[in-house]
Chain A
Amino acid sequence: MTNDKKQTILIVEDEPALLKAYVERFGEEGFSVLKAVNGQEGFDAALKGKPDIILLDILMPVMDGLTMMQKLRENKLWDKTVPIIFLTNLSANEERIMRIITENKPAYYFSKSAFTLQAIVEKIKKELAKKV
């Protein structure tokens, strides 16, 4: 990272093996990594840890990713410019997802199986560079 301050990423994913891979990779990339295993935990962690970017799964127990995003956007304490990147196996072809994502910019969509870790890392770096 070129910035002096370490950037914080929140990763919300209920599948342990995937969470582990993301956490390790982003740690290697120099991020300060926060993690959560469902939408509720993610919501709390986001308000408490104020991440610069969120990597969010959609289908999760307790609270799903879309609900978590909507709840964050409605919360006054929350910085609405924080980009959220969805990583999911649901398809963007499903209209509901696309609608919610476009209503909640900046939010992006990535299909887990179609992208490599490298591509995700690059996407996130690009988003953060935009903000600065």
Chain B
Amino acid sequence: MVSTSDKTIIRLKVLAKEKENIRRRLVVTAQTLRLKAKQLAITAKEKETIRGRLAVTAKQLAKTAKEKEIVRQKLVVTAQTLHLKAKQLAVTTLRKKSILASIGDAVMACDEKGIVILFNRKAVMITGFSAKEVIGRHYSHLIKFVREVDSKPSEDFIGQALKTGHKTTMSGGTLLIKKDGSKIPVADSAEPIRYSRRVLIGCVVVFRDITQEKEIDKAKNEFVSIVSHQLKTPTTIVSLYTEMLLDDREGVTTLKQKEYINEIRSANWRMIEIVNTLLNVSRIEMGIFHTDPMPTDVIDVFKNVIKDSKANISKKNLILQEKYHQLKHIVPIDKLLLNMVFSNLFSNAIRYTSLGGTISVKSLQVKKDEKINNRVIKENSLLISVSDNGCGVPEAEQDKVFTKFFRSDNARSEHTDGTGLGLYIVKSILDHIGGDVWFFSKEKQGTTFNFTIPLRRVKKNIKK
């Protein structure tokens, strides 16, 4: 039998057990709660971090937006400026285009490879090629220049300008072949174009039709020729009759009269020489100079000229120095032309050197591409130099020395006679026979003229 107290005790024990159970559960719950609280704390912290980060990003975004706005504003300004500039450029380009188009001379521009990039209206007119045909192609494909004398291609002055970077000028007597095959005389030059003064980026070729100039020149030359021929007859008559008077077969002329007649005769000789010089010039220019290249001992020709000048040399008490290359040079050349070249230079040396001065004549052999006084020798040649220690050519006038009718101021003041044609003739003759001539001079110290005679090849014709 179970007593009541026992029953109570059992109940109590059950109760205690339940309590214990509940407590335990509570403990577990508390632990769980603590854990959860901890986790919540962590989450909260993380969230806080993210929030903070977000705040920073937002700030940055705001900043970027502001910057973008500034850039945008700047862009607007730039765009406006650009628009304005484009407008100005369009105007300038248009102006340049119309300037180029209305230039009286033909203008062609090439890039550094020789590809044509510009071809103006006049160029189209002169050549007959349209800008479309020429632009984008190498200049030499369509635009061809030939020499008037033999119709052979002329020197490539455009290529030279591109290669050397120096301005080049087309040699005289050049013809342009038009699209239709006809030829017209032209004159022109090629000027290199440089970017910021250094890099060569192409060249500008300017050329013009000189048909009319040529015609005028021809008319002028014919005029000179006719006048000279007309002058020759009267001078010949004076020459013959003064000779007859001086001959004086009757023996009636007094010494005084003979003196006067001699004055007439020498003045007449001067006139004859001037007329002959003028005739030679017009012949050279009209291209009707007949040349007769014969094997000629060059130095022999010089020696003859010197022999004929002996009287003038001793009259002025000049010292003459001669120094020739040891070899005898027999060259196929026109004796008369060679004589004209040398006697012009030699008589100038005598004329412009004062009493007791020194003149020297030298010859030496020079090779192709050799450099003599900054001058590149074009082919194997005989180089002749004629120097004097005379009045010299003033520096300011030196570039005009070979031009027609030029006489330097100091020469003119000392010697009133002289046609200013001698050196022009020298240059023309040497141009024709393939030689070269140059000089250096210092006022009051003297002058040296150098000229070359090709040793192998001599261009045969001067005539048409």
A binding-site residues for B, Cβ under 8 Å: 15, 17-18, 21, 24-25, 28, 59, 89-95, 98, 112-114, 116-118
Which residues does chain B contribute within 8 Å of A95, judged by CB atoms? 288, 290, 463
CB distance from A21 to the nearest CB of B (A): 4
Which residues does chain B contribute within 8 Å of A90, judged by CB atoms? 229
Q: Is the CB of A18 within 8 A of B237?
A: yes
> Complex Cα distance A56/B127, Å?
51
Which residues does chain B contribute within 8 Å of A17, judged by CB atoms? 237, 241
Q: Is the CB of B235 within 8 A of A21?
A: no
Having A17-B237, A21-B241, one finds 15 other A-B pairs with CB under 8 Å, namely A18-B237, A21-B240, A25-B244, A89-B233, A89-B236, A91-B279, A91-B283, A93-B283, A93-B290, A95-B290, A112-B232, A113-B236, A116-B239, A117-B240, A118-B243
**Size range of the chain B interface in the assembly:** 20 to 34
CB distance from B288 to the nearest CB of A (A): 7
Q: Is the CB of A18 within 8 A of B463?
A: no
Which residues does chain A contribute within 8 Å of B236, judged by CB atoms? 18, 89, 112-113
> Complex Cα distance A29/B124, Å?
71
The residue on A at minimum CB distance from B463 is A95
Within 8 A of A (CB), among B278-306: 279, 283, 288-290
CB distance from B249 to the nearest CB of A (A): 7
Which residues does chain A contribute within 8 Å of B162, judged by CB atoms? none
When the two chains form the complex, which single residue of B233, B235, B288 contacts A94, counting CB atoms closer than 8 Å? Answer: B288
Q: Is the CB of A117 within 8 A of B244?
A: yes
Which residues does chain A contribute within 8 Å of B240, judged by CB atoms? 18, 21, 116-117
> Complex Cα distance A114/B272, Å?
8
Select the residue from A15, A24, A91, A93 with max chain B CB neighbours within 10 A: A93
Which residues does chain A contribute within 8 Å of B237, judged by CB atoms? 15, 17-18, 21
Majority secondary structure, A binding face: helix
27 chain-A/chain-B pairs, Cβ below 8 angstroms: A15-B233, A17-B237, A18-B236, A18-B240, A21-B237, A21-B240, A21-B241, A24-B244, A28-B249, A59-B229, A89-B229, A89-B233, A89-B236, A90-B229, A93-B288, A93-B289, A93-B336, A94-B290, A95-B288, A112-B236, A113-B239, A113-B275, A113-B276, A114-B272, A116-B239, A116-B240, A116-B243
Which residues does chain B contribute within 8 Å of A118, judged by CB atoms? 243, 247
Which residues does chain B contribute within 8 Å of A113, judged by CB atoms? 232, 235-236, 239, 272, 275-276
> Complex Cα distance A18/B241, Å?
9
The residue on A at minimum CB distance from B234 is A17
The residue on B at minimum CB distance from A59 is B229
The residue on B at minimum CB distance from A118 is B243
> Complex Cα distance A21/B240, Å?
7
> Complex Cα distance A121/B303, Å?
29
When the two chains form the complex, which single residue of A24, A89, A93 contacts B232, counting CB atoms closer than 8 Å? Answer: A89
> Complex Cα distance A10/B280, Å?
31
CB distance from A84 to the nearest CB of B (A): 19
> Complex Cα distance A92/B335, Å?
14
CB distance from B231 to the nearest CB of A (A): 9
Q: Type the 1/0 row for B224-255, where 1 means its CB is closer than 8 Å to any CB of A.
A: 00000100110111011101100101000000
Q: Is the CB of B244 within 8 A of A18?
A: no
Within 8 A of A (CB), among B32-46: none
> Complex Cα distance A113/B235, Å?
7
CB distance from A124 to the nearest CB of B (A): 15
> Complex Cα distance A90/B243, Å?
22
CB distance from A126 to the nearest CB of B (A): 19
> Complex Cα distance A98/B334, Å?
15
Which residues does chain A contribute within 8 Å of B289, judged by CB atoms? 93
Which residues does chain A contribute within 8 Å of B243, judged by CB atoms? 116-118
> Complex Cα distance A116/B239, Å?
8
Which residues does chain B contribute within 8 Å of A18, judged by CB atoms? 233, 236-237, 240
> Complex Cα distance A120/B35, Å?
150
Which residues does chain A contribute within 8 Å of B290, judged by CB atoms? 92-95, 98
> Complex Cα distance A112/B244, Å?
15
The residue on B at minimum CB distance from A92 is B290
Which residues does chain A contribute within 8 Å of B279, judged by CB atoms? 91
| Known contacts A91-B283, A93-B283, A113-B236, A21 near B288 by CB under 8 Å | no
Which residues does chain A contribute within 8 Å of B229, judged by CB atoms? 59, 89-90
> Complex Cα distance A17/B234, Å?
9
Select the residue from A92, A112, A118 with max chain B CB neighbours within 10 A: A112
Which residues does chain A contribute within 8 Å of B232, judged by CB atoms? 89, 112-113
> Complex Cα distance A88/B237, Å?
12
CB distance from A109 to the nearest CB of B (A): 12
Nearest first, the 5 A-B pairs at minimum CB distance are A89-B232, A21-B240, A95-B290, A93-B290, A17-B237
> Complex Cα distance A89/B237, Å?
12
